[in-house]
Every structure is written in C-alpha cells, then in structure tokens.
C-alpha cells in the first residue's frame, strides 16, 4: 500500500484535495474503483453539498461498505466529516455511515450569516497524530451550514465557535473528521494532511 484513495462519489473539490496532498509529497488518487480503494493505505472522504444526496451517491457506488470495513485510517473533510455520523437533519433527514455516534444539525448561529464562510479558530481538546505539531488554537477555512453533534464527547478533537460552539474536528481510533477545508487552509492545513498521511504509514517525499 503506497497511496491514499480520495473517494470519488461526484461531490466535492476532489482535485484540490489531491493537489494538496501532492504538495506535501504524498501520492493520493481520486478513485471510485473498489480494488484500488481496498489496496489504499488510507481513505479520504471529501464532500461539498447536501448530506442526503451525498449518501445516496455513496451507497449507489458501494463506497459505504468499503469505508466501514476499510481497516485503514479514514479522514472525512467538510461534508465528508458529516457523513461519518449516524444521521443528519438536512433536507428532511438521512442516515449516514455510522462510524461515529451522533447527529448532524444546523449551525446554531442567531444573527450571523449562514453558511459560515471564512477562517475560524479551532481549539484542540487533545492530541492525536492528526494535529501533531499544530498550536493549541489553529485557524482553518470553514464553509458550512451544518455541524455534527457527537454523542460521545470523547470523540471531539477540536471545537470552534460560530454563534454556538461546534465540533470542528473529531477522532475515534483511526477515524478522523474535520469540518473545515485543510486544502484551503495554508501551511497548517497542509501540515494536518501530511500528519494524516504519516499516520497511514506513508513517507513524505518533501517536507510539509
């Protein structure tokens, strides 16, 4: 296993994520091929758009079972993070992958413009391989109207505040999720992606 698989279900800025990994010297391929995915050192699940439509596409392509049975680290980005949870309230509701317990709810941000678009500081609650080398509070670029509410508080890796506090990063074992876009978040975002790749056992061909 020598590369990451960026799961292609037709939603999300896949090439931007692929280029960000390339920038830190990591081989990452956009794919929906089951054999290629099963050989990958880690899986990346990006996403932009609505939860129900995304889960429908993931299921139709058979990617849901591949993610659940992967046995390698998984990173969900933005909508991809939300898909890791049990369900979402968006557009009447839909079930997710269920790798993490909890429900995705609208941002509780009265008086603020939704979606949140822009930089927001993430305060880390604990240390994992994903946020190694990052400061206690790190600014990342967010674009979202919903955020997960993890049922298990121990799964919350980092929080941000937009109106109410929300979980902006989660971790349980080899499963990670970030509500922000690391590929659009400058050097700290690249460091996070490099950390994920290193946690998958991949050597970087250049410094992050």
Of 18, 142, 144, 181, the active-site residue reads 181
Three-class DSSP category at 70: coil
How long a stretch of residues is the chain?
Answer: 208
CA atoms of 198 and 130, how far apart (whole Å): 9
Catalytic, 181? Answer yes
Residue whose C-alpha is closest to residue 149's, from 76, 89, 109, 59: 89
Joined tokens for residue 142: 């967010």
Catalytic, 78? Answer yes
Joined tokens for residue 152: 């298990």
Partnered with residue 120 across adjacent β-strands are 140
C-alpha distances (whole Å) from 122 to each of 39, 116, 135, 137, 157 are: 33, 14, 10, 5, 9
Of 18, 78, 90, 144, the active-site residue reads 78
> Which residues are the active-site residues?
78, 181, 183
């Amino acid at each position: 296993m020598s590369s990451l698989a960026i799961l292609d279900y037709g939603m999300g800025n896949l090439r931007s994520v692929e280029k960000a990994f390339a920038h830190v010297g990591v081989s990452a391929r956009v794919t929906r091929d089951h054999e290629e995915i099963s050989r990958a050192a880690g899986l990346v699940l990006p996403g932009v758009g609505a939860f129900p439509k995304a889960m429908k596409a993931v299921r139709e392509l058979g990617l849901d079972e591949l993610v659940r049975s992967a046995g390698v680290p998984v990173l969900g980005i933005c909508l991809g993070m939300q898909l890791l949870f049990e369900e979402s309230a968006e557009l009447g509701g839909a079930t997710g992958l269920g790798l993490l317990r909890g429900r995705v709810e609208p941002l509780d941000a009265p008086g603020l413009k939704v979606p949140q678009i822009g930089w927001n500081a993430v305060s880390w609650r604990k240390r994992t391989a994903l946020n190694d080398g990052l400061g206690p509070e790190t600014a990342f670029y967010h674009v979202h109207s919903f955020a997960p509410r993890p049922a298990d508080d121990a799964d919350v890796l980092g929080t941000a505040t937009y109106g109410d506090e929300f979980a902006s990063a989660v971790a349980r074992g080899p499963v990670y999720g970030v509500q922000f876009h690391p590929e659009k978040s400058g050097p700290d975002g690249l460091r996070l992606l490099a950390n994920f790749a290193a946690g998958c056992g991949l050597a970087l061909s250049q410094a992050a």
